[in-house]
Amino acid sequence: MKTHELVGHLAEFKVDKANPAEPPRLVKLKPNPQPCEDCGLVCERRIEHSIRLTPIKHWRTKCTGCGKWKHPETGEFDCTPQELNGIYRRLESELQGRRKYERK
């Protein structure tokens, strides 16, 4: 694939017909869809971030292509919301155990 074909594949340009001597203007970039490294689906890897306050304050990240949540320890998108809640509850209990030990 030649360079100008590659650029045309990834971006959309508009040429000003009134003044053709000016370089083309970039209108929009086209996403380059690739297979998700975790789920294997071909998506644009759009993710949603949300902050949660319970059981502890934390950020959650979700892949909109596969609908899976990012595991806080491994970094892979392989959790359901229920599994993620269990992980954060376990982390909260470990954190509270450390706090009790530090107070003594």
pLDDT at residue 73 is higher than 80:
yes
**Domain spans, the chain:** 1-30, 32-103
* Residue 64 DSSP symbol: T
Residue 44, helix vs strand vs coil: coil
C-alpha 84/C-alpha 71 separation (Å) is: 7
Rounded Cα distance between 93 and 56, Å, is 10
Given a cut of 50, whether residue 10 has pLDDT beyond it is yes
Residue 94 pLDDT level (bands cut at 50, 70, 90): confident
Element (H, E) at 57: none
Kindly list the strands in the beta sheet with 47-52, ordered across the sheet, starting from the edge strand earlier in the chain: 47-52, 58-63, 69-70, 77-79
pLDDT tens-digit map of 19-33: 878 888 878 776 666
Residue 47 has pLDDT above 70, yes or no: yes
Cβ neighbours for 29, distance < 8 A, ≥ 6 positions apart: 10, 11, 12
Tokens of 5: 């074909």
Inform me whether the pLDDT recorded for 64 exceeds 70.
yes
Global pTM value: 0.53
In this structure, the dihedral spanned by the alpha carbons of residues 77, 66, 69 and 31, taken in order and rounded to 10 degrees, is 80
